[in-house]
Amino acid sequence: EQVVGCIAAVSSSLHVGKAGPLVHTGACIASILGQGGSRKYRMTCKWLRHFKNDRDRRDLVTCGAGAGIAGAFRAPVAGVLFALETVSSRWRSALLWRAFFTTAVVAVVLRALIDICKRGRCGLFGKGGLIMFDVTSGYVNYHVIDLPPVITLAVFGGVLGSLYNFFLDKVLRLYNVINEKGRTYRLLLAATVSVCTSCCLFGLPWLAACKPCPADSREACPSIGRSGNFKKFQCPMHNYNDLASLFFNTNDDTIRNLYSNGTDHEFHITSILVFFIASYFLGIFSYGLALPSGLFVPVILTGAAYGRLVGMLIGSQSTLDHGLFAVLGSAALLGGSMRMTVSVCVVILELTNNLLMLPLVMLVLIISKTVADAFNANVYDLLVKLKGFPFLEGHAEPYMRQLSVSDVVTGPLQTFNGIEKVGRIVDILKATGHNGFPVVDEPPFSDTPLLYGLVLRSHLLVLLRKKEFISSSTASASDASKHFSPEDFAKRGSGKHDRIEDIELTAEELEMFVDLHPFTNTSPYTVVETMSLAKALILFREVGLRHLLVLPKTS
Amino acid sequence: EQVVGCIAAVSSSLHVGKAGPLVHTGACIASILGQGGSRKYRMTCKWLRHFKNDRDRRDLVTCGAGAGIAGAFRAPVAGVLFALETVSSRWRSALLWRAFFTTAVVAVVLRALIDICKRGRCGLFGKGGLIMFDVTSGYVNYHVIDLPPVITLAVFGGVLGSLYNFFLDKVLRLYNVINEKGRTYRLLLAATVSVCTSCCLFGLPWLAACKPCPADSREACPSIGRSGNFKKFQCPMHNYNDLASLFFNTNDDTIRNLYSNGTDHEFHITSILVFFIASYFLGIFSYGLALPSGLFVPVILTGAAYGRLVGMLIGSQSTLDHGLFAVLGSAALLGGSMRMTVSVCVVILELTNNLLMLPLVMLVLIISKTVADAFNANVYDLLVKLKGFPFLEGHAEPYMRQLSVSDVVTGPLQTFNGIEKVGRIVDILKATGHNGFPVVDEPPFSDTPLLYGLVLRSHLLVLLRKKEFISSSTASASDASKHFSPEDFAKRGSGKHDRIEDIELTAEELEMFVDLHPFTNTSPYTVVETMSLAKALILFREVGLRHLLVLPKTS
C-alpha cells in the first residue's frame, strides 16, 4: 500500500521525497515481524514469537526505519544515526548493535545489487554508485575569508528552516480541517495541489531565458527525450533552459546538478531564485496530502537552491565554489527544520563523499540549529503534536517542578478486590477505557486496605474469556493459574485486541467470583503523592512505564 | 600530569597510543569545569556554578572524552559516536547535541590550526591534513570473489581480538599484583617493559633482509636522519630494511605505510609477520603500566599488520589491494577487541576518507564482533571489572529475575527520627559509611512509624557544621531552614568532601536536637520488597539513582 502510493506520488511529480515512505515501509515490515507475522495473512512464524514484547518490537521498528534511510540514501551509517536520533526515544547499546546490523546488511545487499546493475541488467533503475552525489573533484580548500558568507548562510538557513516548520504546521492544520470533511474532499485536495504543482512546473520555465550550451559540457546539450542536465524546453538548438533543467529532472539529478562544482555560470540567478521559492512552498504544500511522502529530500533540494542563491549573492569575494554553497545550504536548512545534527552530518558526508568539508558542515549545523531553536520546535515534534499522538516529552518543563504528582491525578480511580465479582469487572471494563487497575485487598482479607498490585485490562479479558470462575468470594482457587499458559497472556499484534463487548457471559456467571491474585503484577512501580511531577516524569519516561501507581503519603 | 606522562611515554617509544590519554585529558578538563573550577588552584568561575550537578557533570565528561577522540584522530563525528557508544551509559538528545557542539568546535579549531601550520609555522607538528591516512588513490572496486578472503579475515580478526582481551586481562592482573608491592616495583616494571620493548625494536630489524629501493618510489629512499618510509638501518646505499621502516616510524606513519595501496611488494611477508606478532604482544604488555596510555592506536596498528598478512597469504586470487586488507584488518581487530561498531565504522571512514569501502568494513565489523562476543566481554568491561569500579551493568542477568529485592538487602539499616538527637547522628555517621539515611517519624509524632523521606550524609554534615540545633525534641524549629541558602548544599568538587571527624561539637551540643524535616527529600524513589531484582535494576540504572528505598509489603 505504502509502496504503491509512493510510486504513484513520485511519478506524478509531486514535490515529495522517497525517503519518508521508505522509512515508513521499513518500519511497517519490522512491525509486522514484531507481531510474529500477520495472522490475517497467515504469515506466522514460530521463531518470531521471541520478539513478542514491547521492547523488541520498538527496537525492530527503529531498525526498520534505519534500514529505510540506509536504502533511500545509500547511506548506511546515517541510517543508524537517523534511527537513533529521531525515531528512538531511548538508547541501549543492544539497540545500537541491532540497528548497525540491519543497516550493514542493507549496505551489503545494496552494494551487491549495484554490482549486478553495473553490468546493465536493470535499465535506468539503479544508476549511479554507492555515493549518490559524488561531486568532489579535487581538493577543497577554504580560509578565514570564507567564514562570513558561510555564517550568514547558516543564520538565514536557521530562520528559513524554522519558517518552514511554521508554514508546514499552518498548512497541515488547514489540511486537517479539509480532510475531516470526507474522502471526496481529501481526493479533491490532493488533485488540486497536484494540478497547481504541474502548472508551476510547466509554467515557470517560460520565465527563464534560453542560454547557449557551454562549450566544454561534460554531457550532451541540450538533452532531448532522455534524462540529462540540459533541458531544451522551448529553446532553439544548442541552447538550454536552466529553469527547466531544474524542474524537469528527478530530485536526485537536480540535487546532483546543484551540488556539482565548476558550474558557477550554468544557472542564472533569477532561475535559482524562482526554483528556490517554488520548491520551498511546493514542499510545504505537498507534504501532508493523503499520500505517502517524505520531508527529507524536498528539504535537501530546497536547501541546495538556497545555498546556490546565497553563494551567488554574497559569495563573490570568497573562494568557495557555488556547488559547495549548495551543500552547505542543504545542511543549513536540514539543521533549521529537522534539528538533527550528527545524522545530518553523516548524511551529507555519505551523500557527497567529501570529508574535508566536515568542519564547515558542522559549523553551519550548529549555527542554524541554534538560530532555529530560538523560534520553534523541530518538525517531528510539530508533526507528533499535530497528529495528536500521546507522546511524552523527554525533559521536564520548568513548571513541573512546582507541581506534585497529586496535583495531576484525575479520578475516578477504579480498583478491584483481590477476589472480585465477575459482574463488577465486566461493568468497570465497559464503563472505563483504563488499561490497568490497582488490586487492593480490602478489610475482610487483610487488616487494613492494602495495595496488592496492578492487573492489566488485557489479562482480565483473557481471564473472562477462559471462564475459570469460583463460586464464592471465600473459596480458595489456588489452581486457577494452572489452566493458563504464558502463551495466553502474550501480547497480541496491533489491531487484534480483544474487546469486552465480544465476551458473552450468562447471568449466573456474572454472579460468580474470580481470584485476581495469581494474575496481578505484585510489584508495580509506585511513587508517593508528594513527589514532584518532574521527578515522576523522569521515572515514567526513562523506565518506559505504561502505568505508575500514586500512593497517598499515609498508607 | 596526564599530558606530561603521555609525552614521556610516547617519546620513549613504548607501544601505546595517544588517543587514550587525550580522551582522559579531555574528560579531566571537563570534570574540573564541572566542579565549577578547582578551588585549590583558585580557578573558580561564577558561570560554571550552573553545571554543579551530577547529570551535567557526567555530560561534560562525556563531551570531553569525545573531544579527545576528535582531536587525536582528527575525526569529529567519530568523537561524538565514541563518546556515546563507550563512555556514556545513558543517552539523551540534549547530550547528543552537547557532544556534537564540542566536537564541532574541536573540528573547526583543528582546521584553523592546520591552516596556520600549512604556512609552515609549526615545524613537524601538525603535518598532514584533516584526514590522517588519505590513502584513496582512485576508485576501489570489489566483487563477489573478494568475499571469502574478507570473511576469513573477519573471523580470525574476531578470534584474535578476543584473545587480545584475554591476554590483556591476564597481564593486567599480573601487573596489579606487582604494582601493589610499592612504588619501586611499579617503576621497575615500567623500566623492564621499556627495555624489552627497545630490545625488540632494535633487535628484530636485524632479522630482515635488505631490499633494493623501488625505482618509482614517491619519496627519498633510503631516508636518512629524518622521518620517511624507507629506513636504511644497516643496509647499503639504495637499499632499505622493511622491518625497520615499520618499527622506527611514528605510529601514524607506520599506519599510513601499511594502509597505502600500490605497495604490495614493498614489504616481505616475514617482516609483516614479525611486526604483527611483536606489536600484538608489545601492545598488551605496554598497556597498564604506570603511565597514561591508550589502546586504540596499538590495536589499529596491529590490525593493519594483521590485514596485510592475511592479504599476502590468501588474497592472491582476489582483486583487493593489500592496503585495503590492512584497513579491513584494523576494523576486524577493533571490532574484535573493543566491540564498538558504529564509531569504528566512522573512525575508519574519517581516517581513510574512503566511503566506497563502507559495506566491506561493516561486514567485517559484524562478523568479527559476533565471533568475539562468543568468547568474552569487550575490553572496556574487562578493564572496569579489573579496576574494581562499582559499575552497574545495563542489562539484568537471567538469575536476577528469580530474586526479589528483599533477597539482596543487607543490614543493618540506620534510620533517623524526624527530630533527632545530635549525638546519635554523629555516632551513626562515624560508625557507617552510608551516604543516605531514611527519615522515619516514630509514634510520638505520628500514629504509626511512617517513612518521611531520605536525608543525605552530605546534607547532614552541612547541618552539623552550621549548628542550628534546637533544645528539645518537641520544640518547633520552623525557621531553621531560613539560615541556609541553596549554595550551602551545592555539591562540592570531588576530593573536597567534608568529613564527620573534622566537625567538633561540645558535649552540650551533642545532647541537643536537630529537626531533619526541612532538609529531607520527601519523595525518594521506593520499591516494594517483593519486586524482582531485575526490575529494580532497570529502575536504578535508567533513572540513574544513587539510593533506592525498599519498603516492606505491609507498610
Q: How far apart (Å, rounded) are the C-alpha atoms in residues A191 and A200?
A: 14
Q: Are residues B368 and B414 in the same domain?
A: no
Q: Are residues B7 and B150 in the same domain?
A: no
SS3 A469: coil
- Give, in degrees to the nearest 5, the angle at Cα A323 between A321 and A328: 100
Q: Are residues A173 and A320 in the same domain?
A: yes
Distances from the Cα of A231 to the Cα of A218, A254, A312, angstroms = 14, 12, 22
Whether B359 and A111 lie within 8 Å, measured CB to CB: yes
Residue of B nearest to A545 (CA): B539
Put simply, whether B415 touches A (Cβ < 8 Å) is no
Asked whether A269 and A309 are in contact (CB, 8 A), the reply is: yes
Instruction: With beta carbons under 8 A apart, name residues in chain B contacting A111.
Output: 359
pLDDT of residue A283: 82
pLDDT at B20 over 60: no
- Give, in degrees to the nearest 5, the angle at Cα B28 between B22 and B31: 145
Q: Are residues A382 and A414 in the same domain?
A: no
CATH number of the domain that residue B260 is part of:
1.10.3080.10
Q: How far apart (Å, rounded) are the C-alpha atoms in residues A12 and B1?
A: 65
In the structure, what pLDDT confidence band is assigned to residue A158 with cuts at 50, 70 and 90?
Answer: very high
Half-sphere exposure of B489 (CA within 13 A, CB side): 15
Whether A342 and B144 lie within 8 Å, measured CB to CB: no
pLDDT at A274 over 70: yes
Report the length, in residues, of chain A.
555
Residue A96, all three cell numbers: 545500537
* Beta pairing class for A436-441 and A210-212: unpaired
Q: How far apart (Å, rounded) are the C-alpha atoms in residues A68 and A25?
A: 7
Residues 503-542 of B with CB under 8 A from A: 522-523, 525-528, 530-532, 535, 538-539, 542
Whether A366 and B131 lie within 8 Å, measured CB to CB: no
Q: Are residues B290 and B158 in the same domain?
A: yes
Q: CA end-to-end span of chain B, whole Å? A: 53
Q: How far apart (Å, rounded) are the C-alpha atoms in residues B362 and A111?
A: 12
* Mean pLDDT for all residues in chain B: 73
Whether A85 and B101 lie within 8 Å, measured CB to CB: no
Interval B86-105: pLDDT, tens? 655 556 667 777 778 877 87
Amino acid at B255: I
Residues 441-470 of B with CB under 8 A from A: 450
Which structural domain range is residue A422 located in?
410-528
Report the length, in residues, of chain B.
555
Put simply, whether A96 touches B (Cβ < 8 Å) is yes
In the structure, what pLDDT confidence band is assigned to residue A287 with cuts at 50, 70 and 90?
Answer: confident
Instruction: With beta carbons under 8 A apart, name residues in chain B contacting A73.
Output: none
pLDDT at B134 over 60: no
SS3 A36: coil
Residue of A nearest to B91 (CA): A91
In the structure, what pLDDT confidence band is assigned to residue A13 with cuts at 50, 70 and 90?
Answer: very low
Put simply, whether A377 touches B (Cβ < 8 Å) is no
Distances from the Cα of A319 to the Cα of A257, A323, A324, angstroms = 20, 12, 10
- Boundary of a domain, candidates A85, A119, A153: A119
Burial of residue B486 (CB within 10 Å: 0-12, 13-18, 19+) is: exposed
Whether A96 and B342 lie within 8 Å, measured CB to CB: yes
pLDDT of residue A159: 92
Whether B80 and A342 lie within 8 Å, measured CB to CB: yes
pLDDT of residue B195: 84
pLDDT at B530 over 60: yes
pLDDT at B424 over 80: yes
Burial of residue A408 (CB within 10 Å: 0-12, 13-18, 19+) is: exposed
pLDDT of residue B13: 37
Q: How far is A258 from chain B (nearest CA, A)?
A: 21
Assigned domain for B219 exists: no
Whether B362 and A104 lie within 8 Å, measured CB to CB: yes
SS3 B419: strand
Whether B356 and A131 lie within 8 Å, measured CB to CB: yes
- Interface contacts A/B by beta carbons within 8 Å: 159
pLDDT of residue A458: 81
Q: Are residues A513 and A372 in the same domain?
A: no
DSSP 8-state secondary structure symbol assigned to residue A480 = G
Most confident of A142-151, A241-250, B285-294: A142-151
Choose, out of A355, A381, A525, the residue to mutate when testing the contact with B (most B CBs < 10 Å).
A355
CB count within 10 Å of CB B494 equals 12
Instruction: With beta carbons under 8 A apart, name residues in chain A contacting B526.
Output: 526-528
Q: How far apart (Å, rounded) are the C-alpha atoms in residues A197 and A298?
A: 14
Assigned domain for B396 exists: no
Whether B359 and A107 lie within 8 Å, measured CB to CB: yes
Assigned domain for B371 exists: yes
Q: DSSP for B113-158, please give it.
A: HHHHHHTS-STTTT-S-SSTT----S-----GGGHHHHHHHHHHHH
User: At A117, phi and psi to the nearest 5?
Assistant: -70, -30
Assigned domain for B403 exists: no
pLDDT at A337 over 80: yes
Assigned domain for B276 exists: yes
> Please, which contacts does A478-487 make with residues 24 or more away whose CB atoms are closer than 8 Å?
A478/A518, A480/A514, A480/A515, A480/A518, A481/A518, A481/A519, A484/A519
Interval A338-362: pLDDT, tens? 888 888 888 887 777 777 778 888 8
- Residues B310-317 have a mean pLDDT of 80
Name A287's bridge partners: none
Put simply, whether A54 touches B (Cβ < 8 Å) is no
- The more confidently predicted of residues A446 and B555 is A446
Put simply, whether B391 touches A (Cβ < 8 Å) is no
pLDDT at B9 over 50: no
Q: Are residues B376 and B436 in the same domain?
A: no
pLDDT of residue A465: 80
pLDDT at B470 over 70: yes
pLDDT at A368 over 70: yes
Q: How far apart (Å, rounded) are the C-alpha atoms in residues A272 and A260?
A: 15
Assigned domain for B294 exists: yes
In the structure, what pLDDT confidence band is assigned to residue B217 with cuts at 50, 70 and 90?
Answer: low
- The more confidently predicted of residues A232 and B34 is A232
Put simply, whether A353 touches B (Cβ < 8 Å) is yes
pLDDT of residue B46: 45
Q: CA end-to-end span of chain A, whole Å? A: 54
In the structure, what pLDDT confidence band is assigned to residue A155 with cuts at 50, 70 and 90?
Answer: very high
Put simply, whether A402 touches B (Cβ < 8 Å) is no
Assigned domain for B177 exists: yes
pLDDT of residue B159: 92
Interval A409-435: pLDDT, tens? 777 778 888 788 888 888 888 888 788
* Mean pLDDT for all residues in chain A: 73
Whether B103 and A531 lie within 8 Å, measured CB to CB: no
CB count within 10 Å of CB A173 equals 11
In the structure, what pLDDT confidence band is assigned to residue A332 with cuts at 50, 70 and 90?
Answer: very high
pLDDT of residue A121: 57
Whether B355 and A350 lie within 8 Å, measured CB to CB: yes
> Please, which contacts does A87-95 make with residues 24 or more away whose CB atoms are closer than 8 Å?
A87/A27, A87/A61, A87/A62, A88/A58, A88/A62, A89/A394, A89/A541, A90/A542, A90/A544, A90/B91, A91/B84, A91/B90, A91/B91, A92/B394, A92/B395, A93/B85, A93/B394, A94/A59, A94/B395, A95/A59, A95/A62
DSSP 8-state secondary structure symbol assigned to residue A202 = H
Beta-carbon contacts of B399 under 8 Å, excluding residues fewer than 6 positions away, are: none
In this complex, the residue of B110, B129, B530 whose CB is nearest that of residue A522 is B530
- Give, in degrees to the nearest 5, the angle at Cα B386 between B385 and B390: 45
pLDDT of residue B139: 55
Q: Are residues A377 and A434 in the same domain?
A: no
**Lowest-confidence segment of A46-60, A247-261, B12-26, B406-420 by average pLDDT:** B12-26
In this complex, the residue of A97, A341, A543 whose CB is nearest that of residue B341 is A97
Beta-carbon contacts of B504 under 8 Å, excluding residues fewer than 6 positions away, are: none
Q: How many structural domains comprise chain B?
A: 3
Whether A130 and B355 lie within 8 Å, measured CB to CB: yes
pLDDT of residue B155: 92
pLDDT of residue A160: 92
Asked whether A368 and A161 are in contact (CB, 8 A), the reply is: yes
CB count within 10 Å of CB A493 equals 18
Instruction: With beta carbons under 8 A apart, name residues in chain A contacting B103.
Output: 362
pLDDT of residue B58: 67
Whether B104 and A528 lie within 8 Å, measured CB to CB: no
Q: Is the peptide bond before B359 cis (omega within 30 degrees of 0)?
A: no
Instruction: With beta carbons under 8 A apart, name residues in chain B contacting A380.
Output: none
Closest among A395, A230, A275 to A15, alpha carbons compared: A275
- Residues A199-208 have a mean pLDDT of 78
Amino acid at A293: S
CB count within 10 Å of CB A212 equals 11
Q: How far apart (Å, rounded) are the C-alpha atoms in residues A90 and B90?
A: 9
Asked whether A304 and A258 are in contact (CB, 8 A), the reply is: yes
Instruction: With beta carbons under 8 A apart, name residues in chain B contacting A136.
Output: none
Q: How far apart (Å, rounded) are the C-alpha atoms in residues B284 and B91?
A: 31
In this complex, the residue of A130, A522, A543 whose CB is nearest that of residue B538 is A543
SS3 A182: coil
pLDDT of residue B229: 62
In SS3 terms, A142-164 reads as CCHHHHHHHHHHHHHHHHHHHHH
- Residues B248-260 have a mean pLDDT of 75
- The more confidently predicted of residues A228 and B406 is B406
Closest among A242, A375, A258, A416 to A322, alpha carbons compared: A258
Interval B47-74: pLDDT, tens? 444 445 566 666 676 777 777 777 777 7
Interval B433-466: pLDDT, tens? 788 888 887 766 666 777 888 888 888 888 888 7
Put simply, whether B440 touches A (Cβ < 8 Å) is no
Whether A369 and B97 lie within 8 Å, measured CB to CB: yes
Closest among B65, B143, B512, B105 to B356, alpha carbons compared: B143
Residue of A nearest to B95 (CA): A85
- Give, in degrees to the nearest 5, the angle at Cα A503 between A498 and A509: 140
Instruction: With beta carbons under 8 A apart, name residues in chain B contacting A544.
Output: 542
Q: Which run of H or E residues covers position B368?
A: helix B358-373
pLDDT of residue A514: 83
Residue A81, all three cell numbers: 544515526
Put simply, whether B366 touches A (Cβ < 8 Å) is yes
Whether B91 and A90 lie within 8 Å, measured CB to CB: yes
Whether B349 and A112 lie within 8 Å, measured CB to CB: no
pLDDT at A9 over 50: no
- Give, in degrees to the nearest 5, the angle at Cα A412 between A407 and A417: 120
Put simply, whether B489 touches A (Cβ < 8 Å) is no
Q: How far is A108 from chain B (nearest CA, A)?
A: 5
- The more confidently predicted of residues B454 and A447 is B454
Q: How far apart (Å, rounded) are the C-alpha atoms in residues A28 and A493?
A: 12
Q: Are residues A422 and A382 in the same domain?
A: no
Most confident of A79-93, A119-133, B231-245: B231-245
Q: Are residues B98 and B158 in the same domain?
A: no
Beta-carbon contacts of B138 under 8 Å, excluding residues fewer than 6 positions away, are: none
Choose, out of B95, B109, B134, B341, the residue to mutate when testing the contact with A (most A CBs < 10 Å).
B341
Put simply, whether A143 touches B (Cβ < 8 Å) is yes
Q: How far apart (Å, rounded) are the C-alpha atoms in residues B137 and B382?
A: 39
- Residues A439-458 have a mean pLDDT of 76
Whether B96 and A341 lie within 8 Å, measured CB to CB: yes
Q: Are residues B368 and B505 in the same domain?
A: no
Instruction: With beta carbons under 8 A apart, name residues in chain B contacting A84.
Output: 91
User: At B294, phi and psi to the nearest 5?
Assistant: -120, 170
- Give, in degrees to the nearest 5, the angle at Cα A279 between A277 and A281: 70
In this complex, the residue of A112, A355, A523 whose CB is nearest that of residue B531 is A523
Q: Are residues A368 and A441 in the same domain?
A: no
pLDDT of residue A201: 77
Assigned domain for B550 exists: no
- Give, in degrees to the nearest 5, the angle at Cα A302 between A300 and A307: 90
pLDDT of residue A284: 83
pLDDT at A105 over 60: yes
